[in-house]
Structure 1
Amino acid sequence: MSSVVRIERVFKEYLLGEQTVQALNDITLAIEPGVFLAISGPSGSGKTTLLNLIGCIDRPSSGDIYINEQNVSQKSANELADLRARSIGFIFQTFNLLPVLSAAENVEYPLLRRKDLSTTDRKRRVNYFLDIVGLGKYADNRPNQLSGGQRQRVAIARALAVKPAIVLADEPTANLDKATGIEILGLMKKINEHLGTTFIFSTHDQKVIDHANRLVKIEDGGIKAFGIRNQKSNWHIARAAPHAVSATEQNSQ
């Protein structure tokens, strides 16, 4: 099976003052389409950096990243922006909704870059995905007129509106109470199963891990273990080999 994301020998360094910080150290990972994957680890472990690289928000210091078998490491800023507009949806812990826009306008916002979509096409997508997340009747409400859970639902609809191959979620339950967090995770899981969209989470929330069917444990910038949940909902955890065997390869062993 081809991978929706493939990462090969990726390093990421940052310069803080005169000190070089190794955020990611020799990451190799393959993610197959349609998985519900949690990247877990403590704060500062590198999980958000890895998510940003997959989302083409940041670039690796060395190594290669493939999205749908396209090497994105050398693409221009405009090419990456176009790729994000067509292939990647984002969900953030702080929702990142524009307060002056309605729910419908927030969902439509990432589609405005898409010159191949007419106004009618955009409106149809907005209505469809607001209905999927159960907020059709709140289309005209602004974020301050919605609860935290409703705002996260708008953010999910916005991520899905581009019809992405991948949805990236950075701590999406962090600002929600436990019951609402479980409800939102259940919604994303249903969307994952219904639409086949790949979900990749950066998280240290056990609730997210409990919903996942793939797990990547990251610590000190390196992959420490892979987890695969079988049909009986039991985890098989495999320690990462030197240079980190891919999750897909682990699955076949």
Structure 2
Amino acid sequence: MKVVHFENVSKDYTLGDSQVYALKNIDLQIEDGEFLAIAGPSGSGKSTLLNLIGCIDIPSSGKIYINNQDTSGQTPDQLSELRARTIGFIFQTFNLFSVLSAEENVEYPLLQFKELSAAERHARTVKFLVIVGLSSFAHHRPNQLSGGQRQRVAIARALATQPKIILADEPTANLDHKTGEGILQLMKEINRNSRTTFIFSTHDAKVMAMADRLVRIEDGQLVEENDNHA
């Protein structure tokens, strides 16, 4: 099943008097359970592509289907609901709340799911802290954790909503080589065990090598796709 389907998608922005074409005529399909890397130089359109998949932005033209839902014509509230329940985000800067513990950071996105009781939220939070190997750090705040541990909290938070898709924007960029490799192995393990689709925006050769498929983008256009297992 396709969890992401782009049909002839373009995105442009108006900057002063000029039009900037961030993406041009993108056709892309991503299957359920893929471990996919999007690579390209800075300014190539990687982040725009990720923002469109994440329903943070909308295309100027073309159609985008996320988990079989046509996103065109949806209201901001509908897109927000789709994003909350379908997509998890992992950022290079971790984006954790400094005043909350690891456990509270992981639980935070679940607060908008009114159907979950406090006990269910707690059980889910504990489960994902165990998966990322941080159950003994549940009550630590981000400033008491290493960079790798913070990124593990961010992964647990992204997984807590049980999304179909996780978008990872340069997730290893702020980590040393060894820690970054451990984080990648963890994400690959989660991908294999839970069939969660991972989509990376990256410059990191290790991420590209580990991906099932590599999509290259330059000047807003897809230039190449490699199946790493072919």
Range class of TM-score, shorter chain: over 0.9
| Residue-pair matches, total | 230
Residue 31 (structure 1) aligns with: 30
Query: Partner of 1:85: helix, strand, or coil?
Result: helix
**Contact kept? 2:209, 2:228, Cα under 8 Å:** no
Residue 186 (structure 2) aligns with: 187
With the length of structure 1 as denominator, give the TM-score of the two structures: 0.90
Task: Give distance in 1, aligned partners of 2:150 and 2:17.
Answer: 41
User: Letter of the aligned partner of 1:174 in structure 2?
Assistant: A
Residue 141 (structure 1) aligns with: 140
User: Letter of the aligned partner of 2:151 in structure 1?
Assistant: Q
Residue 202 (structure 1) aligns with: 201
Task: Give distance in 1, aligned partners of 2:92 and 2:227.
Answer: 25
User: Letter of the aligned partner of 2:178 in structure 1?
Assistant: A
Deviations 1:100-135 (A, max 9, x none): 110011001111111111111110110000000000
**Contact kept? 1:85, 1:111, Cα under 8 Å:** no
The alpha carbon displacement at 1:80 in A equals: 1.0
Percent identity between the two aligned chains:
63
The alpha carbon displacement at 1:15 in A equals: 1.1
Task: Give distance in 2, aligned partners of 1:147 and 1:14.
Answer: 38
Superposition misfits of 4+ residues, deviation over 4 angstroms? none
The alignment yields a C-alpha RMSD, in angstroms, of 0.7
**Contact kept? 1:4, 1:31, Cα under 8 Å:** yes
The alpha carbon displacement at 1:73 in A equals: 2.2
Task: Give distance in 2, aligned partners of 1:227 and 1:186.
Answer: 21
Q: Does 1:94 align with 2:93?
A: yes
Query: Partner of 2:193: helix, strand, or coil?
Result: helix
**Structure 2: where are the runs of 5+ without partners?**
none
Deviations 1:65-114 (A, max 9, x none): 10111101221111111111111000000000010110011001111111
**Structure 1: where are the runs of 5+ without partners?**
231-235, 237-253
With the length of structure 2 as denominator, give the TM-score of the two structures: 0.99
Residue 71 (structure 1) aligns with: 70
Query: Partner of 2:2: helix, strand, or coil?
Result: coil
Task: Give distance in 2, aligned partners of 1:142 and 1:80.
Answer: 31
